[in-house]
Amino acid sequence: MSDILVHTEAGVMTLTFNRVERKNSITGAMYNALSDALEQAANDAAVRTVLIQGDPTIFSAGNDIGDFMAQSAKPAAATDAESPAIRFLRTIAAFPKPIVASVCGPAVGIGTTLLFHCDLVYAGDNAAFSMPFVNLGLVPEAASSILAPQMFGYHRAAEALLLGEPFMAEAALEVGLVNRVVPPTEANGIAQSQARKLAGKPLSALVETKRLLKMGQQPAVLERIGVESVSFANAMRSPAAKEAFSAFMEKRKPDFSKV
């Protein structure tokens, strides 16, 4: 069975992370599947909105560390702007139709930052968001270095990105990352209901309204994704990242004293 389930009904394309046994960690193949689905949805008049969801216990643990380690071993040209992850980020950032997300349990790294590119987000009260890039010797991605300060305010964004500590659903609601907090068993259903409400509205008006909402922001976001991708690719090959990944695989605390 696919690690990304794609189902279209009543004008809603639902994309479900389906790798629960690996905490819905995202591989390159999964990024490509997400991008393919979004590109199809953008060009299919029968799809009026997209819903991204996980399991009631886990949204996504972020990037698959095994994939990360393999990527970091490749030459620089193989890890920069056109990687599957960057393709996905560019695709979701430029997606013209509404995107709804349902988030329960941990949402780590890109599991949190992809939400900046969604239009409506519903969270289970067990949701735990985190952007622990620095803790892995890495830097922000998904234009989170510009979007997090805009949404959270600078100091809260700095706390989230520099310390990388989790913040819970109610804190995410307070800073505007999510629209509503609900019981985990209800989150996917509520998000699906909201997505269907959107699908019942005039598509032209939805698309134009989203364009107007993002018009002043989107060029800067796409540019920042490119800038971050260069820094991220360099960081992936750094001694700090290599130590962090090795420590993760060896289930020990990383030692950054020499990096």
Domains defined for the chain, CATH in brackets: 4-184+200-206 (3.90.226.10)
Where do runs of H (alpha helix) occur along 73-125? Answer: 84-93, 110-113
Using pLDDT thresholds of 50, 70 and 90, give the confidence band for residue 78.
very low
Residue 43: pLDDT over 80: yes
pLDDT computed for residue 75 by the predictor? 62
Check whether 96 has a pLDDT greater than 80.
yes
Positive or negative: CA dihedral 10, 114, 187, 32: positive
Tell me which DSSP letter residue 119 carries: S
**Using an 8 Å Cβ cutoff, are 127 and 225 in contact?**
no
Does the pLDDT value for residue 247 go beyond 60?
yes
- 49 CB contacts (<8 Å, ≥6 apart)? 11, 12, 13, 97, 98, 99, 100, 195, 198, 199, 206
- How many residues belong to the chain? 259
The answer, yes or no, to whether residue 172 has pLDDT greater than 70, is yes
Mean pLDDT of the 129-133 span: 98
Which run of H or of E encompasses 130? strand 128-130
pTM, whole model, 2 decimals?
0.95
The C-alpha angle with vertex 18 and arms to 17 and 20, in degrees rounded to 5, equals: 105
Q: How confident is the model at residue 67 (pLDDT cuts 50, 70, 90)?
A: confident
| Amino acid 71: pLDDT | 65
The two structure tokens encoding residue 140: 């922000």
Q: Distance between CA 8 and CA 64 in Å, rounded?
A: 27
Give residue 76's pLDDT. 56
